[in-house]
Amino acid sequence: MADLRLRFPGGKRRALTFSYDDGLPSDVRLVGIFDKYGMKGTFNLNSNTYRPEDGEPSENIKIERSTMWTRAKKSEMQALFSDGTHEVAVHGISHTPLGNLPVYEAVERIICDRVAHERDYGRIIRGAAYPNGSFSDTAVEALAASGIAYCRTTTATRSFDIPKDWLRLDPTCHHNDPQIFELAKSFIESDGKDPMLFYVWGHSSEFVIDGNWERIERFCELLATASDLIWYATNIEIYDYVKAFEALIRSADGTLVFNPTSTDVFASVGGKRDVFIPAGSTVTV
Ligand SMILES: [Zn+2]
């Protein structure tokens, strides 16, 4: 039986996603860069740490290392994410690291954040990133119990493998990783047959502090040169797509494939030819 390998929408073999933490005033500029290149990101916000609405306007705040973590106002984040292009995800109600918490306390910090985001942004929220990258088996248990589908760590893999353990989701690298441009080049030029995910994380305030906005501009510009090969998506869009692919049902001899989901799926048969398996349909491969 020929193996069936995941292909992203449009039959693309590559996907790119971003994950940025903390809900910072500089997220506005970062979203502007992603929008310019048609790319999509996930923003992990803490619902209890917004700056007061009557505080200094963000454009007046001079970000220095001491004020690096000055948060955005809730209204600014709501305006930024109102059109649903980018994903809002859980980051714990007040950024307390989850790794050493008992399960009931971790659940409270996750579920309260999820409820607040769902109310504030008017959509279902199922993603998360670990505050300070701190996790444990207990934290994973708490996330699963809170209906969270995936949660990002800060452990760089420098690889493009499709995640298997979504509640311990390791990114490819941070945006300041010295190898990021080499990785980007090999991502674009790879002629393998397996699907690839490039996953970048960071904090937008780091671009302000490090004075390196050109780094993310250059990265996006480089990956935009291969837009016909790469699917740009949020974290949850990638999760949902991979799960739809994994839900495909095959006949005993493998020649029939049924897609029981509501997502159209692409696959490669034996790494040789691509097939399209529409939602709810059975296809001969
Ligand atoms: Zn954080």
| 274 is a domain residue | no
In this predicted structure, what is the pLDDT of residue 69? 80
| 109 is a domain residue | yes
Residue 109 exposed, middle or buried by CB count within 10 Å (0-12, 13-18, 19+)? buried
3-class state of residue 169 by DSSP: strand
Distance from residue 132's CA to the centre of ligand 1 (Å): 6
pTM passes above 0.95: yes
In this predicted structure, what is the pLDDT of residue 67? 76
Give the mean model confidence (pLDDT) for residues 220-248. 98
| 40 is a domain residue | yes
Give me the residue label for tokens 């691509």: 274
How far is residue 123's CA from residue 118's CA, in Å, rounded to a whole number?
5
- Please list the alpha-helical segments (H only) found in the chain: 27-36, 74-81, 103-121, 137-145, 180-189, 204-210, 213-224, 235-246
| 209 is a domain residue | yes
| 174 is a domain residue | yes
Distance from residue 126's CA to the centre of ligand 1 (Å): 17
Q: Is the pLDDT of residue 282 over 80?
A: yes
Give the mean model confidence (pLDDT) for residues 142-157. 98
Structure tokens at 179: 């190898």
Q: Is the pLDDT of residue 65 over 90?
A: no
Torsion 157-236-196-241 (CA) sign: positive
Distance from residue 252's CA to the centre of ligand 1 (Å): 47
CATH code, domain with 222: 3.20.20.370
Q: For the segment 110-120, what is each residue's pLDDT rounded down to a tens digit?
A: 999 999 999 99
β-sheet bridge partners, residue 267: 6, 275
Residue 229 exposed, middle or buried by CB count within 10 Å (0-12, 13-18, 19+)? middle
Distance from residue 67's CA to the centre of ligand 1 (Å): 14
| 256 is a domain residue | no
In this predicted structure, what is the pLDDT of residue 62? 77
Torsion 143-147-153-157 (CA) sign: positive
Share of the chain above pLDDT 70, in %: 100
Residue 112 exposed, middle or buried by CB count within 10 Å (0-12, 13-18, 19+)? middle
Q: For the segment 22-61, what is each residue's pLDDT rounded down to a tens digit?
A: 999 999 999 999 999 999 999 999 999 999 999 887 878 7
Please name the residues in contact with 176: beta carbons below 8 A apart, sequence gap of 6 or more. Answer: 202, 206, 210, 212, 215
Distance from residue 54's CA to the centre of ligand 1 (Å): 23
- As for how many domains the chain has, the answer is 1
Distance from residue 133's CA to the centre of ligand 1 (Å): 8
Neighbours of 219 (CB within 10 A): 22
Q: Is the pLDDT of residue 68 over 90?
A: no
3-class state of residue 102 by DSSP: coil
Distance from residue 20's CA to the centre of ligand 1 (Å): 8
In this predicted structure, what is the pLDDT of residue 231? 98
| 201 is a domain residue | yes
Distance from residue 83's CA to the centre of ligand 1 (Å): 23
3-class state of residue 249 by DSSP: strand
Distance from residue 135's CA to the centre of ligand 1 (Å): 13
Distance from residue 231's CA to the centre of ligand 1 (Å): 26
| 277 is a domain residue | no
- Domain of residue 127 covers 15-236
Distance from residue 240's CA to the centre of ligand 1 (Å): 24
Q: For the segment 77-92, what is each residue's pLDDT rounded down to a tens digit?
A: 999 999 999 999 999 9
pLDDT category, 233, cuts 50, 70, 90? very high
Distance from residue 70's CA to the centre of ligand 1 (Å): 12
Distance from residue 165's CA to the centre of ligand 1 (Å): 21
